[in-house]
Chain A
C-alpha cells in the first residue's frame, strides 16, 4: 500500500482531469478581471516604431490602415486598431481603412473608427474614411499603387470614392505616407511588402496577433517594416503611448496570471513525469 500511494500520486500529477484545468483557467481569468492588480506597461522598440512612423507621415499624405482581421482575433487586433486610430487622430493624420480579407474586418474596423472619431470630433470623409472590403489580394494592392480611385470606385457605404473630400487629389502610391497592416492572417503583409513597399518605398508598419508576430521580426530587422504591434501586449503598449488605456491594458493585467498558471501546469506535469521516471528506475 505504501509503495502504491507515491506511484498513484506521481501518475495523478501527470493526469489532472481536463475539466479541472479548464476550471482553473476560468477562475484565474475571472478573478483577475474582478480584482485586477494593475502593473505598469513600458512600450517596446517595435511598438515605438509604429508610433513614430505615424507621427512622421508628411503633411498631405494619407495613412492606409488595412484591417485584415475579424472576430477570431478581435481581442488582440481590435485594441490594436483602436490605439492606432487614436495615434492618427492625435497626430492629425488622415487615414483610410481598407480590408483585403476577411470581409467582416471592414465593419468591425468601421464601428471602432466611429467610436474613436467621436472623441476627437473627427468627420467621416474629411479626417477618415473607409474604403471597404475589396476582394483580390495582390491584384488590389498592385492596382492601388497605380490608380487608387479606379481600383476602389466606392467606399464602405457604397458612395463614390470621388465624393469624399479627403480623397480629392489622391491618385496613387505617391499620395500614401504609410500603410499599417493589422491582421491575424499570414501572407497578407508579404503582399504589401512585395507590391508597394518594395517597388515604391511606401513605409509599412503592422499589428499582428502574437501567434504570427515571431515570423515577422526579420522584416523589422531589415527595416522593411518601421515597427509592429505584437498581440494584446503591443496594443497595450500603444494605448500607453497614446495615453488611452483600454481593453488591451486590462487584458495584459489578466494575462500575467494566466501565463503563470500555464507555467505552473507545465512544471507540475514535468514534475510528475520526472518522479514517475525516477520511481520506475528504482
Chain B
C-alpha cells in the first residue's frame, strides 16, 4: 500500500509534459491553495489557527531534530536513517521559500518613502532619489548579469555593464565604506569623553585595552624591542608588547568569552525548546490574531 501510494504521488507530482499542461497545473495549484487557505480561514477559529501554527512549528522542528538523533546505519559508506534522503531537498525548498521574503523590507521602505513623495513631505526629494536609485540599480544589475563578456573582462565594457560598474564600485560600495568609516571618528571622540577610570574595573579594562591596542600594531613591538626574543616562555620575552597582547587575547580573553558562550548556549537551547513547543508568549506568539 505504501508503495502504491508512493507511485501514485510521484505520478501526480511528476513534471508536466507540455507548456499548456504546465500552465494548467500551476493555475490549478494556485486555485487549490487559495481554496484551502480560504477554507482554513473560514473554518478555523483563532484557537484552531493557533493550534495549526503550533503543529506546523513542532513538525518542522521534529523533522530536523529527529533526522539528527535517530539511530543510523551505514549504507554505501554513509550514515543514514529513514529521514536522511529528505534533508537536502527540504533545505533546498526552505532556502527558496526564504528567498521570497526579500521583498518584506523593500515593501516597508516603499511604503515610507512612497508616502513622503505622494504627500510631498519635507525631504521628499530624498525619497524620490531613493526610488530612482533603487530602480536604476535593479535594472543595471539585471543587465550586468545577462550581458556576457569575455573572461577576464575587457577594459572597455558595453554601456549597461559600465553603468553597473559605476553604480556598484563608484556609488554603492564607497557610500557603504564611507558610512561605516565614520565610526573611527565616533570611537575616538567617545573614548576620549566617556572612558574615565573611576573604579578598579574601569582601570582593568583600560589596562587591557592599552596592552591589546599596542600589542596589535607594529609600534608596540618597536616600543619593547629591546627585550629579548627567546620565544615567550622566557620571562623578559613575555613582557614584549606583542607577546603580552597575544597572552591577554589567548589566556585572559578566551576563558572569559567561553564563560559567556556557555551561558548564551544554555539560554539559546532553553529558548529553542520553548519556541519548538510553542510555550513562548509575546507579540508574535499571542493567542489572538
Contact = CB atoms under 8 A, between A and B. Distances in A.
Direct A/B contact, Cβ within 8 angstroms: yes
Given A45-B246, A142-B87, A151-B88, A218 B218 contact: no
B188 A150 contact: no
Nearest to A70: B176
Interface residues of A, number: 67
Contacts of B69: none
A136 B99 contact: yes
B263 to A, nearest CB: 13
Nearest to A138: B91
Interface stretch (B11-19, B108-116, B166-174): B166-174
B254 A217 contact: yes
Interface residues of B, number: 56
Contact of A75 (B91, B177, B221): B177
A242 interface: no
Contacts of B218: 39-41, 252-253, 256
Contacts of A117: 152
B192 A217 contact: no
Interface in B114-173: 145-146, 148, 151-153, 168-169, 172-173
B152 A21 contact: no
A10 B153 CA distance: 61
Given A70-B176, A104-B172, A218-B254, A21 B91 contact: no
Interface of B: 87-88, 91-92, 94-95, 98-99, 102, 145-146, 148, 151-153, 168-169, 172-174, 176-177, 179-181, 184-185, 187-189, 191-193, 195-197, 206, 210, 213-214, 216-222, 242, 246, 249-250, 253-254, 257-258, 261
Interface of A: 14, 16, 18, 21-22, 24-25, 39-42, 44-45, 70-75, 104, 107-108, 111, 114, 117-118, 124, 134-136, 138-140, 142-143, 146-147, 150-151, 157-158, 210, 214-215, 217-218, 221, 230-231, 233, 252-253, 255-263, 265-266, 268-270, 273
